[in-house]
Amino acid sequence: MRNYYIAGNWKMHKTRSEAAELAKTLVAQLKDGKHKYLVAPTFTSLETVGAIVKESNVLLGAQNMAAEEQGAHTGEVSVLQLKDLGVQVVILGHSERRHVYKENDALINKKVNLALKHGLEVILCIGELLEEREAGKAEQVCETQTVKGLAGVSAADLARVTIAYEPVWAIGTGKTATPEDADAIHAYVRKVIGKLYGADASAQIIIQYGGSVKPDNAAQLMAKENIDGALVGGAALKADTFVPIAKFS
């Protein structure tokens, strides 16, 4: 039985005091929650939020990290610096990183391996553009991103990897993939994991759905066999909308 994993990606929102207020409310309201929870604030709020979620059932995540451990990389943040702040999880390959900041599979793969080497958990985001879906290429795109993103990752380390399927056309648009469409891609990605790592890994890997998840569609999505959680953007910015998603059942 896979556990559900509900994560909030706060993207580039909130000052430290705003982040602290939301984190405090979430810690209080999720303490009796049954699932695995994560919040991923911006780098500048990690220390503040980390102090609040410490020793709660809410994990601390970063939204990105550099592909190198340290050095002359102006504007980047290293895995060592994230660990120093108590970060436990890093989101990698988010579609905004892929499509706005032009990160490719090779770079994302380097980050995945570096994060795992340093003991972090990884949420590896995959997902197709609208034109790729319309051209019938959604499965192929997700397969390529999964295979290339996980190159060099051992079966043992895969236990610290979560996949997040986020169709790009559903992010921040109010358009959700139907639970059936999302489940079909999740099932396909699970098969890809099976080919790479075997049946046990395929059965166990957590695959989150992301893209306009809201309190009123979370339960239908989570009811699908291959959907094991959510990576939530807009609705993660308020406790009023994140908590009902986090407690969908």
Catalytic hit among 94, 128, 139, 186: 94
What are 157's two structure tokens?
Answer: 């380390």
Would you give the binding string for ligand 13P spanning residues 80-119, x where CB under 6 A is met?
A: --------------x-------------------------
Catalytic hit among 96, 103, 128, 166: 166
Give the CA count within 13 Å in the CB-facing half-sphere of 68: 7
Whole-number Å distance between alpha carbons of 61 and 57: 13
User: Binding to ligand 13P by residue 128, rule CB under 6 A?
Assistant: no
Min dist. Cβ of residue 59 to ligand 13P (A): 15
Choice from 4, 5, 6, 9 touching ligand 13P (CB under 6 A): 9
Would you give the binding string for ligand 13P spanning residues 211-230, x where CB under 6 A is met?
A: xxx-----------------
Cα separations (Å) of 124 from 12, 15, 115, 191?
A: 19, 26, 11, 16
225 as an active site residue: the answer is no
94 as an active site residue: the answer is yes
Query: Among all residues, whose Cβ is closest to ligand 13P?
Result: 233
Closer residue to ligand 13P, CB minimum distance, 197 or 239: 239
Closer residue to ligand 13P, CB minimum distance, 149 or 211: 211
Closer residue to ligand 13P, CB minimum distance, 229 or 233: 233
Closer residue to ligand 13P, CB minimum distance, 41 or 210: 210
Would you give the binding string for ligand 13P spanning residues 228-247, x where CB under 6 A is met?
A: ---xxxxx------------
Touching ligand 13P, residues 134-193 (CB under 6 A):
166, 171-172
Closer residue to ligand 13P, CB minimum distance, 39 or 197: 39
Give me the residues that bind ligand 13P (CB under 6 A), please: 9, 94, 166, 171-172, 210-213, 231-235
Catalytic positions, please? 94, 166
